[in-house]
């Protein structure tokens, strides 16, 4: 790493991140560019966003070696190298996608069975209806009508909208990582070595209350850095096996009711809680950040949502935020059909940035005490991306050997191939089968 730091979109983003986190000891390192751009070709600055996000967690963890841009690319597109017993899973439901309406396009998400059921019910279709039947119904509706029918049944759909620069500017006027500090007494500082070695989070207990990609990427990264991560899921909400195997590295995973006595015992012994459910759902369970820090002084809370705290009851996914924020139309392949980023980059970047925040705020808690909360959202990350420099056309896709950046594990008698860790010098340990561990530290 011999080049001098120079201004760049990724350096500007890193400056914002470390300013939000109150970190001043990494300023000399944020300007270093990758040896070549991260191979994530798009009109928007997806490559710069990915580089800055991985660099943020690397520097927060005391890793000054530059990451491998190719490995970052594969980590962001990990679902494309995932294989379970040699078979690549079908990662998208027939009910997830873009659908033409009478006045535009609608984006839906139906990967979970309960979301698919609600979507079909809203459209007046029977369970098991084909994608062609969904297409025919939406084609007879306006955007507002189709979205209204689906969301009335609590299904997931958004209109595909053009970007709104004024709205995005208002988003960017808020912190990318919104940190709050509460001056409380607590004993959780007892287990924080935070040494700058190969396992800087050794001894830290992380309770993982997240699903899908962004939250699990955050907690997978904390496990990679030595934390004891226990993922807890409700017993009545199954997770697609492939989805957990893609992001479950280094964690233990258990099924437990959030209102159970055992769950609250786990919570009382945790150092960090990562929240990824809708804010309104957490409120109903008594698991909001404010409720947790009230009951457990000294706790570190990291919270992410799709749309931000101003829309606490709105569920969402990366693909829906891309569509509603204008990204899908910017990335259109032909000026008509909506497109997408080359990876679910809002999810992955939110996960890495939140992991960086956890490390930074654990260090601040060690120095300053109290309870700390950090929040971000996919919509806030989207606004950041939309404010970065963009190109008229994507750069040509750079070819490289993707197999060099994947690894295979033995998992409960089977073979699971996944992407390698994006952080330099570190290697994942195998994921466990979802829900296969005991609810204990």
What is the per-residue pLDDT across 78-116, written as a single tens digit (0 to 9) for each?
A: 999 999 999 999 889 999 999 999 999 999 999 999 999
Enumerate residues 6+ apart whose C-beta is below 8 A from 413: none
Residue range 348-358: average pLDDT? 98
- Give the Å distances, CA to CA, from 36 to 41, 43, 52, 66, 145: 12, 17, 14, 11, 46
Segments making up each domain of the chain, as ranges: 1-79+176-441
Reduced DSSP (H G I as helix, E B as strand, rest coil) percent helix, strand, coil of the chain, to 5 = 40, 15, 45
pLDDT of residue 5: 52
At 207, list the tokens: 């309770």
Structure tokens belonging to residue 380: 């806030």
335 vs 190: which has the higher pLDDT: 335
Q: Which of 245-259, 396-410, 426-440 has the lowest mean pLDDT?
A: 396-410
Average pLDDT over residues 6-13: 86
pLDDT of residue 149: 98
pLDDT of residue 192: 54
Please state, in angstroms and rounded to a whole number, the distance separating the CA atoms of residues 246 and 420: 10
pLDDT tens sequence across 192-244 = 555 555 589 999 999 999 999 999 999 999 999 999 999 999 999 889 899 99
- What's the pLDDT at 190? 43
Q: Tell me, what's the pLDDT at 25?
A: 76
Cβ pair 401, 71 in contact under 8 A: no
Confidence tier at 6 by pLDDT (50, 70, 90): low
What confidence score (pLDDT) does residue 194 get?
57
What is the end-to-end Cα distance of the chain in Å, rounded?
39
Residue 83's DSSP bridge partners are: 417
For residues 152 and 173, give the distance between their C-alpha atoms in angstroms, rounded to a whole number: 32
Task: Say whether pTM exceeds 0.85.
Answer: yes
Q: How far apart are CA 36 and CA 117, in angstroms?
A: 45
In which residue are the tokens 């924020």 written? 325
Whether residue 272 has pLDDT greater than 80:
yes
pLDDT of residue 29: 78
Cα 291 to Cα 289: distance, rounded to the nearest angstrom = 6
Percentage of the chain beyond pLDDT 90 is: 86
For the chain, helix (H) and strand (E) counts, in that order, are 16, 13
Strand extents, DSSP E, 282-405: 300-305, 371-377
- Average pLDDT of the chain is 93
Q: Are 206 and 185 in contact (CB under 8 A)?
A: no
CATH superfamily of 1-79+176-441: Crotonobetainyl-coa:carnitine coa-transferase; domain 1 (3.40.50.10540)
224-254 in b/e burial notation, b at 16+ Cβ within 10 A?
bbbbbbbbbbeeeeebbbbbbbbbbbbbbbb
Q: How far apart are CA 350 and CA 209, in angstroms?
A: 15
pLDDT value for 412: 83
Mean pLDDT, to the nearest integer, of 273-283? 96
CA 97 from chain centre, in angstroms, equals: 20
Q: What is the mean pLDDT of residues 291-307?
A: 96
């Amino acid at each position: 790493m011999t080049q001098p730091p120079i201004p760049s979109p990724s350096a500007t983003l890193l400056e914002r991140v470390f300013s939000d986190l109150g970190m001043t000891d990494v300023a000399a390192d944020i300007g270093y560019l990758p040896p070549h751009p991260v191979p994530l070709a798009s009109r928007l600055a997806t490559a710069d966003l990915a580089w800055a996000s991985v660099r943020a967690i690397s520097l927060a963890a005391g890793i000054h070696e530059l990451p491998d841009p190719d490995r970052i690319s594969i980590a962001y597109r990990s679902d494309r190298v995932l294989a379970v017993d040699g078979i690549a899973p079908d990662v998208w439901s027939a009910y997830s996608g873009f659908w033409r309406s009478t006045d535009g396009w609608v984006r839906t998400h139906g990967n979970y069975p309960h979301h698919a059921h609600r979507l079909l019910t809203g459209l007046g279709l029977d369970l098991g209806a084909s994608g062609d039947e969904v297409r025919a119904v939406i084609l007879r509706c306006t955007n507002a009508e189709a979205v209204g029918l689906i969301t009335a049944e609590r299904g997931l759909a958004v209109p595909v909208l053009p970007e709104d620069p004024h709205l995005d500017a208002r988003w960017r006027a808020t912190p990318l990582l919104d940190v709050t500090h509460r001056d409380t007494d607590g004993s959780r500082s007892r287990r924080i070595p935070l040494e700058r070695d190969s396992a800087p989070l050794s001894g830290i207990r992380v309770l993982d209350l997240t699903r899908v990609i962004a939250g699990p990427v955050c907690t997978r990264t904390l496990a990679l850095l030595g934390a004891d991560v226990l993922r807890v899921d409700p017993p009545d909400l199954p997770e697609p096996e492939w989805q957990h195997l893609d992001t479950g590295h280094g964690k233990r995973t258990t099924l437990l009711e959030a209102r159970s006595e055992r769950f609250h015992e786990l919570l009382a012994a945790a150092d960090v809680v990562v929240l990824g459910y809708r804010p309104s759902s957490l409120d109903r369970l008594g698991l909001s950040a404010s409720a947790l820090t009230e009951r457990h002084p000294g706790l570190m809370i990291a919270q992410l949502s799709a749309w931000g705290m101003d829309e606490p009851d709105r569920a969402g996914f990366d693909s829906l935020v891309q569509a509603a924020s204008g990204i899908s139309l910017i990335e259109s392949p032909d000026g008509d059909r909506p497109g997408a980023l080359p990876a679910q980059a809002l999810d992955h970047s939110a996960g890495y940035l939140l992991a960086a925040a956890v490390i930074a705020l654990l260090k601040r808690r060690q120095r300053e005490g109290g309870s700390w909360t950090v929040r971000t959202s996919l919509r806030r990350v989207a606004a950041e991306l939309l404010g970065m420099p963009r190109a008229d056309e994507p750069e040509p896709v750079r070819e490289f050997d993707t197999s060099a950046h994947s690894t295979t594990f033995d998992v409960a008698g089977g073979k699971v191939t996944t992407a390698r860790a994006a952080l330099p010098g570190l290697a994942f340990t195998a994921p466990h089968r979802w829900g296969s561990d005991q609810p204990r530290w």
